[in-house]
Amino acid sequence: MNGKDLNRVVPRPTSRQGMLGWLLQRLSATIIFAIGVTHIVVIHYTTPGEPITFAESIQRLENPLFVVLWLLLLGVALYHVLYGVRNIIVDFVTVANKRTLTQALFGIGIVIFGAGVFFLVPLVIGKPLFSN
């Protein structure tokens, strides 16, 4: 059996076969776990017993590392969540065109990520965007 025949027996991980999605779902889960634990520890365990305040948040986000980490968390979590939603839809509904479904969910993800970036702007620049 040469290499060409072997490919027919052991499929390569391509997105068409869903292997790439499967792999990315595991990778994203690991990233979410790592950054999620950091998120909870940094926000809730540095000042325990004290509510989160605007002043404290803008002070923390002066460090660009946290801005990057929180946005990375949002992006990866959105990928993971929407891929999960896609899995549930594909399991329960016979989807004629899976590519359209994937594109629609991708669009929704982009919109939510854009909203998340926009919502974070006041905490990064240190004041509400539309204040007098």
Partner 1 sequence: MIKAEKLRARYPDTWPTNYKLGMWIWVFHRVTGLFILGYLLFHLIEVMLSHFGPDIFDKFFGWGYTWWMQSLDLLLMAVLLFHSMNGLRVILFDLGIGIRKHKIVFASVMLLGLATYCFLANDILPYVIGRELF
Classify residue 18 as left (phi > 0), alpha (psi -120 to 50) or beta.
Answer: left
Report the alpha-carbon distance of residue 45 to residue 123 in Å, rounded: 20
For the bound state, the minimum distance from the C-beta of residue 2 to partner 1, rounded and expressed in Å, comes to 28
Of 2 and 25, CB closest to partner 1:
25
Assigned token pair, 54: 């605007």
Report the alpha-carbon distance of residue 27 to residue 120 in Å, rounded: 26
Q: Which of 5, 9, 51, 65 binds partner 1 (CB under 8 A)?
A: 51
Position 31 contacts partner 1 (CB under 8 A) = no
Q: Binding string, 5-24, against partner 1, x = CB under 8 A? A: --------------------
Report the alpha-carbon distance of residue 40 to residue 73 in Å, rounded: 12
Question: For residue 75, what are the contacts with CB-CB under 8 A and spacing of at least 6?
Answer: 113
Of 9 and 48, CB closest to partner 1:
48
Interacting residues with partner 1 (CB under 8 A):
26, 29-30, 33, 36, 48-49, 51-55, 57, 74, 77-78, 81, 84-85, 88, 112, 115-116, 119-123, 128-131
